[in-house]
Amino acid sequence: MPSELIDATYMPEAGAETLAPPIEGTPDLADLKLALAIPTLNEGENIRRVLDRVRSVLDLVGVRYEILVVDDDSRDGTAEIVTAVTQEDPRVRLLVRKGQRGLSGAILYGWQHTDAGILGVMDADLQHPPELLPELLSAIFTGKDLVIGSRYTAGGGLGEWSRVRRLLSAAAVWVTWPLQKAGLRARDPMSGFFLVRRDCVSRVRFQESGFKLLLEILVRARIRSVEEVPFAFGQRYRGASKASFKVACDYARLLVRLYAGRLSLRRG
């Protein structure tokens, strides 16, 4: 089901900041707050370590931020671990979805529950190095709409993937090329590690199921500039991968929808 990012759905919790006014004109970029969504599905062995590393990196940058752990009702104690961290640090927030699944939907859910001007996402299994965040932020602060932690730009890498997984990934990227906007094409449109300005994605409807929100943002959001920052995709620290046959099917459905949208634009 498509999900719309509507600013009005943000409900401040008791004691939290009040809703900021909508961003108009060119805001002072350095004043923007970052909301980093970390989606989790049974990441109990990783989440504490991820949160510690992200917080120490962002504390050094000095940016205003909040971390939104969006958990789909994990059964391995993930939520309990995050709850303990939220009590130490109110900038860490836990959002639990019951009876729902889907990485893109979880990210959108997190973004719907914040008033931050910079929206971001990273995985909970340490395959995305938190130490890249300052470079990603600095691209936004210097005026980019979207910045991607990229495995496919010079200096990036896929780590220890098998030859088959590399080939499938290259094919999955290749089929996005005609969909992406000329002049704004990303080499790694499948990355799960990126930051985007809120005003570029608000009020756009996105597919909730599936893993590839970035591709939909590249195709359908109001993006005027993109930067890719290389990084080497690490090894999952602990726990099991959630990539599955269903994820591949969701990706195929997304491609069909995006190609159909492209065709109807041409005809109309």
Residues that bind ligand GTP (CB under 6 A): 39-41, 43, 70-72, 101-103, 106, 123-125, 127, 192, 236, 241-243
Q: Which does 124 bind (CB under 5 to 8 A by kind): ligand GTP, Mg ion, none?
A: ligand GTP
Q: Which does 63 bind (CB under 5 to 8 A by kind): ligand GTP, Mg ion, none?
A: none
State which of residues 40, 42, 78, 127 lies at the interface with Mg ion (CB under 5 A): 127
Candidates 61-69, 122-130, 142-150, 211-219; binding stretch for Mg ion (CB under 5 A): 122-130
43 is a contact residue toward Mg ion (CB under 5 A)? no
Candidates 63-71, 127-135, 156-164, 210-218; binding stretch for Mg ion (CB under 5 A): 127-135
DSSP for the chain?
-EEE--GGG--PPTTSPPPPPPP-SS--GGGPPEEEEEEESS-TTTHHHHHHHHHHHHHHHT--EEEEEEE---SSSHHHHHHHHHHH-TTEEEEE-SS---HHHHHHHHHHT---SEEEE--SSSSS-GGGHHHHHHHHHTT-SEEEEESSSTT-B-TT--HHHHHHHHHHHHTTTTTSPTT---S-TT-S-EEEEHHHHTT-EEE-SSS-HHHHHHHHS----EEEEE-B-----SS-----HHHHHHHHHHHHHHHHHHHHHHH-
Q: Which is nearer to ligand GTP, 74 or 180 (CB)?
A: 74
State which of residues 72, 125, 188, 227 lies at the interface with Mg ion (CB under 5 A): 125
